[in-house]
Amino acid sequence: MSKNKVKVGISIGDLNGIGCEIILKSLADARILDFMIPVIYASSKVIHFHRKANKIGDLTFQKVEEGKDLKAKQIYIKECWNEDVKLNLGTASHDSGKYAIQSLKAASQDLANRFIDVLVTAPIDKNNVQSPEFNFPGHTEFLAKMANVEDALMFMVSDRLKVAVVTGHVPLKDVVQHLTKEKILSKIEQVNKSLIKDFGIVKPRIAVLGINPHAGDKGTIGEEDGNIVTPAVRSAFNKGIMAFGPYPADGFFGNGLFKSFDAVLAMYHDQGLTPFKTITFGNGVNYTAGLPIVRTSPDHGTAFDIAGKGEASEQSFRNALFKAIEIHKNRLKYKEMTENPLEPQKAGR
How does pLDDT run across 76-126, given as a tens digit for each residue?
999 999 999 999 999 999 999 999 999 999 999 999 999 999 999 999 999
How far apart CA 107 and CA 121 sit, in angstroms, is: 9
Burial 237-262 (b: 16+ CB within 10 A, else e): eeeebebebbbbbeebbeeeebeebb
How far apart CA 11 and CA 297 sit, in angstroms, is: 10
Cis peptide bond prior to 246, omega within 30° of 0: yes
- Classify the phi-psi angles of 231: left when phi > 0, otherwise alpha if psi is within -120 to 50, otherwise beta: alpha
Note the pLDDT of residue 115: 94
Residue 21 has pLDDT above 60, yes or no: yes
pLDDT in tens, 250-261: 999 999 999 999
Name the pTM for this structure. 0.91
Note the pLDDT of residue 66: 77
Q: In the β-sheet with 61-63, what is the strand arrangement from edge to edge?
A: 61-63, 75-79, 36-42, 6-11, 118-121, 295-298, 285-289, 153-157, 162-167, 263-268, 205-209, 242-247
Note the pLDDT of residue 349: 45
Note the pLDDT of residue 65: 86
Contact 241, 188 (CB under 8 A): yes
How far apart CA 149 and CA 140 sit, in angstroms, is: 11
Contact 333, 200 (CB under 8 A): yes
Residue 34 has pLDDT above 70, yes or no: yes
pLDDT in tens, 191-221: 999 999 999 999 999 999 999 999 888 888 8
Burial 17-41 (b: 16+ CB within 10 A, else e): bbbbbbbbbbbeeeebeeebbbbbb
- The predicted model gives 272-283 an average pLDDT of 91
Structural domains in the chain plus CATH codes: 1-152+291-349 (3.40.718.10), 153-284 (3.40.718.10)
**Residues of the chain with pLDDT > 90: what percent?**
84
- The predicted model gives 167-196 an average pLDDT of 94
Note the pLDDT of residue 299: 92
Note the pLDDT of residue 167: 93
- The predicted model gives 133-154 an average pLDDT of 89
How far apart CA 310 and CA 308 sit, in angstroms, is: 6
> Between the CA of residue 83 and those of 44, 45, 78, 223, 289, what are the distances in Å?
11, 9, 14, 57, 35
> Rounded mean pLDDT of the chain?
93
Most confident of 62-66, 86-90, 165-169: 86-90
Residue 137 has pLDDT above 90, yes or no: no
**Residues of the chain with pLDDT > 70: what percent?**
96
